[in-house]
Amino acid sequence: MGELLRRLRKGFGRKLAILHAWNGWIVVVLALSGIMLVMNYWRGVLGEGRVWLKELHIIVGLLSLVPVIFYLLLAAKHWKQLRGKRWQKFNVFVVLGLLVGWFISGVLLWQFRAVGPWWSNHALTVHDLLTWIGLPYIIYHSITRAKWLKEPNRRVVRTEREGKAEAEATVLHPAASPQSYLSRRAFVKWAVGGGIAIAVGPSFLKWTVNTLGVSIGNPSYEEIVTRDGNELIPLPQPMPASSPPSGGGAKGEFRIYSVTPIPSFTNENWSFTIDGLVDKPMKWNWEQFVKLTRKVQVSDFHCVTGWSVYKNTWEGIPLKQFLQEAGVNPTATTVKFYSGDGVYTDSLTLEQAQMDDIMVAMLHDGNLIPNDLGGPVRLIVPKMYAYKSVKWLNRIELIDKDHVGYWEERGYDKDAWI
């Protein structure tokens, strides 16, 4: 029996152990890089590194299939070995399910351009959901399966020498008998499980409410205004097409992205400028800006990271209107947009800037755009990915050179067409 076990461990068992270790490290790298990719904090900190990190995440993600394939080759044999061990079989299913689910949704996210926003959006939901469930599961699995938590009678199997020492220890120190190990183990399991639930639970609930659209009622106008860190007077009165929103209310949730700390504005520190190669440079303060004629349009909003918000009813001033009023010089080729965060910029060619649905937006679904979503005024370019939609827009400049925007400079595609 001992001989048999030893041979199993040397050959087949060792192969499984190596696969398990590889898989473990891959999951660690993917978890860390994935968490850094979704956390807004790291956007500003990493800058260009973000694009590299995404690339790493994709490559390691693709490689994660290798141990799975190798495992599947050994699976039949492993399955026989697991006869009667229901929990271990369940665990194999969960882990394989997670890996395959992450892989497929990950490939769809990677190929967001080829598959389009609908697939990316669903893939992101699945990718996130698997992470919410899978990561706590795997963390629990790795802590509670750690060697130091194993009862002595399971460790005995490892090596005879260890086993003997263990048996002696048990005789010498009755406190370390299997029973008390077991209860300590059960205790630690519950503690670890509880700890993870407390740590992850609240944000998971929040995610569920937001993403799966388990609606707890749309925030009221008052709620949004209270959340808003801006203080600008007077409030713009929404047009009838905006309130109630003619799009029927946006579907989906914006993720708050910013490469800087989120700025806030008052009548004192806010202004809006159009200048550069124009006949008539202009500058407005808030009181003047609120009086400009606005329009209403309904459009979808897509981020390259996979999420979308559909049927947004935006109210604001079409970009074209600004360009016409200021009078663009024939030498101008590019429209450059500045953010009030002092860092973010982007640009459109003069030709692209003629699209009718590009808007300098002030209201979303009849409400002020709160400062965390780019209010009081943000750009909207519905036909391009949202990194073109500069938040806290406060200056439009016409120039005769190309301008590479914040994210394009850090590796995003210059072509942002959806």
Q: Which amino acid is at 361?
A: A
Query: Considering CB distances under 5 to 8 angstroms, the limit depending on partner class, which of Mo ion, ligand MTE, none binds residue 238?
Result: none
For Mo ion, the binding residues (CB under 5 A) are 303, 386-387
Q: Does the protein bind ligand MTE through residue 30 (CB under 6 A)?
A: no
> Quick one: CA dihedral 388, 390, 393, 396, positive or negative?
negative
**The one among 95, 361, 386, 398 contacting ligand MTE by CB under 6 A:** 386
Task: Count Cβ atoms within 10 A of the Cβ of residue 132 and give its class: 0-12 exposed, 13-18 middle, 19 or more buried.
Answer: middle
Nearest distance from residue 260's CB to ligand MTE, in Å? Answer: 7
Nearest distance from residue 58's CB to ligand MTE, in Å? Answer: 18
Cβ proximity of 314 and 361 under 8 Å: yes
Distance between CA atoms of residues 334 and 341, nearest Å = 21
Distance between CA atoms of residues 329 and 312, nearest Å = 33
**The one among 110, 254, 270, 322 contacting ligand MTE by CB under 6 A:** 254
Q: Give the bridge partners for 339, in sequence order.
A: 393
**The one among 54, 131, 387, 416 contacting ligand MTE by CB under 6 A:** 387
**The one among 339, 352, 367, 394 contacting ligand MTE by CB under 6 A:** 339
Q: Does the protein bind ligand MTE through residue 265 (CB under 6 A)?
A: no
Distance between CA atoms of residues 87 and 145, nearest Å = 13
Q: Which amino acid is at 162?
A: E
Distance between CA atoms of residues 177 and 157, nearest Å = 16
**The one among 228, 315, 341, 408 contacting ligand MTE by CB under 6 A:** 341
User: In the window 298-337, what residues touch ligand MTE (CB under 6 A)?
Assistant: 303
For 25-29, the CB contacts below 8 A with 24+ separation are: 26/60, 26/63, 26/64, 26/67, 27/64, 27/138, 29/56, 29/60
Q: Does the protein bind ligand MTE through residue 181 (CB under 6 A)?
A: no
DSSP tag of 237: P
Structure-token match 């990718």, residue found? 127
* SS3 state of residue 375: coil
Nearest distance from residue 244's CB to ligand MTE, in Å? Answer: 22
Contacts of 4 (CB under 8 A, 6+ apart): none
Q: Does the protein bind ligand MTE through residue 259 (CB under 6 A)?
A: yes
Nearest distance from residue 336's CB to Mo ion, in Å? Answer: 19
Q: Does the protein bind ligand MTE through residue 396 (CB under 6 A)?
A: no
**The one among 30, 98, 296, 390 contacting ligand MTE by CB under 6 A:** 390
Q: Does the protein bind ligand MTE through residue 255 (CB under 6 A)?
A: yes
Q: Does the protein bind ligand MTE through residue 344 (CB under 6 A)?
A: yes
Q: Does the protein bind ligand MTE through residue 19 (CB under 6 A)?
A: no
Nearest distance from residue 256's CB to Mo ion, in Å? Answer: 11
Nearest distance from residue 392's CB to Mo ion, in Å? Answer: 15
Q: Does the protein bind ligand MTE through residue 264 (CB under 6 A)?
A: no
# chain residues binding ligand MTE, by CB under 6 A = 18
Distance between CA atoms of residues 391 and 381, nearest Å = 11
Q: Does the protein bind ligand MTE through residue 257 (CB under 6 A)?
A: yes
Q: Does the protein bind ligand MTE through residue 384 (CB under 6 A)?
A: no
Neighbours of 418 (CB within 10 A): 16
Nearest distance from residue 377's CB to ligand MTE, in Å? Answer: 11
Nearest distance from residue 414's CB to Mo ion, in Å? Answer: 15
Q: Does the protein bind ligand MTE through residue 373 (CB under 6 A)?
A: yes
Q: Which amino acid is at 375?
A: G
Cite the beta strand spans of 269-399 per DSSP E. Answer: 272-276, 282-284, 295-302, 308-318, 334-339, 345-349, 359-364, 367-368, 378-380, 393-399
Closer residue to ligand MTE (CB): 277 or 373: 373
Query: Considering CB distances under 5 to 8 angstroms, the limit depending on partner class, which of ligand MTE, Mo ion, none binds residue 389?
Result: ligand MTE
Cβ proximity of 259 and 39 under 8 Å: no
Query: Considering CB distances under 5 to 8 angstroms, the limit depending on partner class, which of ligand MTE, Mo ion, none binds residue 373?
Result: ligand MTE
Write out the residues near ligand MTE by the rule CB under 6 A: 254-259, 303, 339, 341, 344, 373-374, 386-387, 389-392
